[in-house]
Structure 1
Amino acid sequence: EEILQRCFTALRYRPDILVVGEVRGREISALVRAVASGSGSTTTFHASSPEEYEMAVRNLLPRDLYTMLSLNTALLIFVSRIRIENSLARRIWKVYERVNDEWREIYGPENDSIYTSYILKRLSRRLLIDDIEADLEYRTKILMSTQQGFESVEKLLKKFYRV
């Protein structure tokens, strides 16, 4: 209940993106509200395929809210533990994007490359490819900084939003 209230409080500040660490219950309604209000949202689920994700969401939401969230979910990123040399590490395992009503794999570990992305292709009609790549590299840097602690993330986010 407390996390749900925090999500609704955060939405009053009209964030660009609402981040919820993990959705297990009623807090998913805050994500649906974020989508409905035009804010972006990101969260984690325990699922190993697009089908498992959709089943988890379907079990948490009434049908109309499930449909709205499902249609507004653009990407699914799956992380897995893998062995690198003598230790376990987390690594992006698969990335799917929604094209029309279907999930299409755009990244797989087989050759460690990104396949043609419909979303990036659509963005490139309005933005220069170099600008998109620079933005993605900067966002990658922000994500990588999470390994170094909150202060480095805060510094990069302030720079990103020019606060």
Structure 2
Amino acid sequence: MPLELLRIDERLIHGQVLVGWGSPLDLDFYIVVDEALASSEWEQELWASALADEESAEFVGVDEAARRFGELDSREGRGALLTRDTATMRALAERGCLDGRSVNVGGLYAAKGRKRILDYVHLSPEEIGDLRVIGERAAVCARSLPTAPEVRIDASRLG
């Protein structure tokens, strides 16, 4: 199972994911599920510019990710699937892609309408609803880095 990390993070491909997660997990590729990025070649180049030469990124929309999930999950090497929001990960959960998996939540920061769950996880009522749906199919946890303690994001934490 090469998709070692399924993560919701507004920042998508950035230092914490590449160095903090990618190095310890020995990741070779990143699948970014984002409708806007899937259709913007120049933005894809910009996001992928942070990758090392031996790493790759693929940008797909939700429908394509769901249709190709088996292929993406059986790809040679080790990878991460990233979404910038809970709604996108929820869409993958509703299509059965996350069954029995674990979803990492991190890098959702303070904004109007969001409440603090952890220092690095702030959620709106809609995002809380998304995580509840995801939680019916997958374990939902928060962890800033692989070496940090895992914090379960369940009904008791979501309120």
Which TM-score applies when normalising by structure 2?
A: 0.31
The structure with more helix, counted as a fraction of residues: 1
Which TM-score applies when normalising by structure 1?
A: 0.31
Q: Which has the larger radius of gyration?
A: 1
